[in-house]
Structure 1
Amino acid sequence: MTTGPLSATRTTAEETSTASAADSADLSREMIAILDFGSQYSELIARRIRETKVYSEVLSYQTPIAQLQRLRPRGIILSGGPSSVYEEYAPKCDPALWELGIPILGVCYGMQLMVQQLGGNVERAERAEYGKASLYIDDPTDLLTNVEDGTTMWMSHADSVISVPAGFERLAHTDNTPCAAIAHHRRHLYGVQFHPEVVHSLGGMALLRNFVYHICGCEPEWTTATFIEEAVREVRARVGDKRVLLALSGGVDSSTLAFLLHRAIGDQLTCMFIDQGFMRKNEPERLVKLFKEQFAIPVVYVDASERFIARLQGVSDPEHKRKIIGDEFIQVFESESQRLGPFDYLAQGTLYPDIIESAGENIDPKTGERVAVKIKSHHNVGGLPENLRFKLIEPLRRLFKDEVRQVGRNLGVPDEIVQRQPFPGPGLAIRVLGELTRDKVEILREADFILRQEVNRSGRYNDYWQSFAVLLPVKSVGVMGDRRTYAYAVALRFVTSEDGMTADWARVPYDLLEQISNRIVNEVPGVNRVVYDITSKPPGTIEWE
């Protein structure tokens, strides 16, 4: 068996055959395809469709017609986007799309593109429309069945449809948008100027259900149970009799993946937990004991804390930190796997939001080409070398966090792990802002431990998507015991969210904040001030680095 470096993009004859098997499985599944024109909401559309228990996937607007036909989607949704359809380099789909005979729903830019390519007219609106708007329904059938007249929908557009193509009818309007929803009933082509996928659109889910169920004829059959069946089948087909090494962190993603892979390939799986020195207090010991004694899934424990802290000495840039941590993870895995191995595959609990934020796709307005718009690298997708000893296997990469939790429950993952708040792969290293030192990590570890204790005691742990402490790279003057102090500040971060794509700062009870603050200042040496972060995502991100 080969033990030298393997290209991450190399395809063997075995992989080609197993990929074909996976494709065949995909073709038997009902799906809705989302063609992405650069919208920040494209992945949210996919998530909303999956809430109807129908599979959906985001594809490039440049996806060839032949590939779409091979996928056989029951319906197609065209996303919004930042461009104007009349611009020189505006992204366009193949006009043959309209002749496929597949129901199509255009959202915002997608609707405008449909109108323009089929002979209608789109122009700059006299007045842009952003935010909530009341939708007045002119035709309550088909797409707008059970959508309440006057319901609130979310608008975000500066262009408007001036005239619709032949055969189209107006379904709804707003005070500022005459053509807020249109349809060509015979050809099953539909368009909406608003965004039904966002939570602010109160009638949005009813509209999407109408499209998915009544217009596309889909059945609600894509569940966590069916995902598990497909994933197990595909893992077995791809891996064969080879061995898999799993990067285990103890969070819901990697733990769920461990249960999934163990079901699929049993003893061919080896879990490796690398303690990089940035875990929460007592977590490495608890994790190893839990997996070995309760789950009967063997875990190899590697204490690499000295290696990581040495490489991060003097590094303060957060992107550089993530790259170093990702690179060191791979090096540790490679060296340890040679000792234990050999292994052919490295499994990671990468999720859809990880991929989106590490290299989100958008449209270059000058060329019309798709480009990467990086928000921040995630350690498991941003630090991989071009030549990798392992082939990557990431069965969860197209799932959102809430979907992974459901998969975990279905697999029997204990609730204490399933409900665990997300914890970044680089750990406390990216919650110590600026340059890392051992002392700073220990200060934050103790502050974080106090926060978690108090949140658990309050019974509010599950009320928050994430709750954590951040050590700020600033010191301030304080007074303790009638003496002047000059010490660090700790920021508390509590957010609520559905999927991590967007988040709002949580309105935490003052008495809980007070208790956390008092304990941190009194019990953690080196801290004399605690502040609370009230920034939502966007414009901020959940993590500070």
Structure 2
Amino acid sequence: MDTILILDFGGQTAQLIARRIRELGVYSEIIPGDTGYDRIPDVIHMDDVKGFIFSGSPESVYDHNAPALDPRFLEDGRPILGICYGLQRFTHDLGGRVEQKHTREFGRNRIKFRHQSPLFKDIPEGFISWMSHGDSIDTPAPGFRIIAESEHHHPAAVSHEELPVYGLQFHPEVSHCEYGSEILSNFACEICGAGKEWNMHMYMEEAAEDIRKQAGSKPVLLLISGGVDSTVVGGMLLKSLPHDQVHLMYIDTGLMRKNESVKVEKTLKALGATHLHIIHAEKDFLDPLEGVSDPEKKREIIGDAFIRVQEREIARLGVENSILAQGTLYTDMIESGKGVGNKAKVIKSHHNVRSPLVERKREQGLIIEPLSKLYKDEVRALGIELGIDPDVVNRHPFPGPGLAVRIIGEITREKLQILREADHIFISELKARGLYHNIWQAFVVLLPVRSVGVTGDAREYGYVCSLRAIISRDGMTADVYPFEMNDLLEISSRITNQVRHIGRVAYDISSKPPATIEWE
């Protein structure tokens, strides 16, 4: 199958490049950027590779430990597209000059063409790109010319005068870049000539085969939350393996939303699982969390508690030598510094990625993560392909650590109850107003401060909560949902009237970046 091979130098959007290529119907594969050229046949048949993309990186080409590129990739003859660091990498290696400019470029930036190029076929001049770089091209490598520049007159794109080698200083893969998909299509389909042979059904079949190979005849245990990710993994396991081999275990951590356990049990029974285990383990989670405020420590405690409870219940149920399945997404992996290569930075730890016990199981090859190459909207598409109820598939994301990362500071049972009620009101109002499916993710955060208020004739100090509602395509970037003011006023009024201990409501208007979607 025709393939675009992506070299990941540690950038946060390497998998997003692959996803954009797959959206075109072209198969893509990612390898670490420092992979030796002669190791490609270990990953994919060389005859299938139609072109290479070099990804971005948080490093500078002048850093001591900057990821290097095997020069044989540049001698291969197949088309190459370097993005951000990828452009700087081959420019530096081929004799050009990269330097740090006085004016760095981040965010939106209009592009002006200098020369015609097949890379910009049918793309209008002046389109808005998305920049994220400190270093810039000062002098292109010999044989290259600048074909586009930014509004600050920095080189924005280069191409070789004879060879099919191109470089972009901006990121066409992010959703904020206008015509980004068209630029990638021009490269993959027009310049590389790759055929559109890939789709979600094919991914499902390949993932099922991988599950069967990894599981063998061992029992597989899925710690299922009832959210989109773990439910889709449950569907994948039941499609791939004999039902008697699959154990679905729902652990009520005491950190769940209102009535969540009842809804989850109903959903899991609808999947037709033979083994369904509902575990009530509130004490196992809340007791170790007592007095803990640090968000990373909370995530570690929760991750370890998940594994401890799981191991205890496996012993109780007699399911020995089981393999752990998880609904880990690629966004979880890269934010935790677990991208394809070894250069990714840690943004925040996910309880199902960096927990010591989870990492030990991963090193032992005892974890199945069939969604770890997918983004959230791809997971939803996979769920539909599996025949899962659309109402379940289209639920807003809910974090594995639950309400623990939506209570800033110390977690108490009282705060959990307050947050459950406020969150229930918010989500109910969104559904009643027909707004729920316009929003990618919405929730309430309880802040560790109290604010003075007046209830009747009494002076009272109540908690402050913040509403969070964002629109996004993949969770890598996010904008604030633009509520009508009347909606916010009425939702806020209902929360403060019905949740006694909340006296003030705020609305979070931070985008991602610079903020993350969750507060912790």
Q: 2:335 aligns with which of 357, 366, 378?
A: 357
Q: 1:43 aligns with which of 4, 15, 18?
A: 15
Give the Å deviation of 1:69. 4.4
- 1:516 correspondence with 2:491: yes
Equivalents in 1 of 2:286, 2:71: separation in Å? 55
Give the Å deviation of 1:192. 2.1
Q: 1:337 aligns with which of 301, 314, 319?
A: 314
Counterparts in 2 of 1:113 and 1:306: CA distance versus 1, 3 Å: closer
Q: TM-score, normalised by structure 1?
A: 0.87
Which deviates further from its counterpart, 173-182 or 506-515? 173-182
**Which residue in 2 is equivalent to 1:535?**
510
1:2-401 correspondence runs (5 A): 29-70=1-42, 71=44, 72=46, 73-86=49-62, 90-125=66-101, 127-174=103-150, 176-177=152-153, 179-184=155-160, 186-267=162-243, 268-292=245-269, 294-298=270-274, 299-340=276-317, 341-359=319-337, 370-371=342-343, 373-385=345-357, 387-388=360-361, 391-401=366-376
Give the Å deviation of 1:179. 4.5
**Which residue in 2 is equivalent to 1:464?**
439
- 1:455 correspondence with 2:430: yes
Counterparts in 2 of 1:254 and 1:82: CA distance versus 1, 3 Å: closer
Give the Å deviation of 1:182. 2.5
**Which residue in 1 is equivalent to 2:473?**
498
Equivalents in 2 of 1:147, 1:203: separation in Å? 7
Counterparts in 2 of 1:155 and 1:423: CA distance versus 1, 3 Å: closer
The amino acid of 2:352's aligned partner reads: N
Counterparts in 2 of 1:193 and 1:235: CA distance versus 1, 3 Å: same
| Preserved CA contact (<8 Å) 2:249 2:278 | yes
Deviations 1:446-489 (A, max 9, x none): 11111111111011101111111111111111111111111211
| Preserved CA contact (<8 Å) 1:315 1:435 | yes
Q: 2:381 aligns with which of 406, 422, 435?
A: 406
Deviations 1:113-139 (A, max 9, x none): 222322333445475444444433344
- Secondary structure at 1:409 match in 2: helix
Give the Å deviation of 1:260. 0.9
Counterparts in 2 of 1:321 and 1:431: CA distance versus 1, 3 Å: same
Q: 1:526 aligns with which of 460, 478, 501?
A: 501
Equivalents in 2 of 1:376, 1:123: separation in Å? 30
**Which residue in 1 is equivalent to 2:459?**
484
| Preserved CA contact (<8 Å) 2:12 2:334 | no
Which deviates further from its counterpart, 383-392 or 321-330? 383-392
| Preserved CA contact (<8 Å) 2:445 2:467 | yes
Aligned length: 510
Give the Å deviation of 1:383. 1.9
The amino acid of 2:440's aligned partner reads: W
Give the Å deviation of 1:425. 0.8
Give the Å deviation of 1:435. 1.3
Cα RMSD over matched residues?
2.4
- Secondary structure at 1:373 match in 2: coil
| Preserved CA contact (<8 Å) 2:108 2:129 | yes
Which deviates further from its counterpart, 126-135 or 476-485? 126-135
**Which residue in 2 is equivalent to 1:431?**
406
| Preserved CA contact (<8 Å) 1:246 1:258 | yes
Equivalents in 1 of 2:102, 2:497: separation in Å? 59
Gaps of 5+ in 1: 1-28, 364-369
| Preserved CA contact (<8 Å) 2:467 2:506 | yes
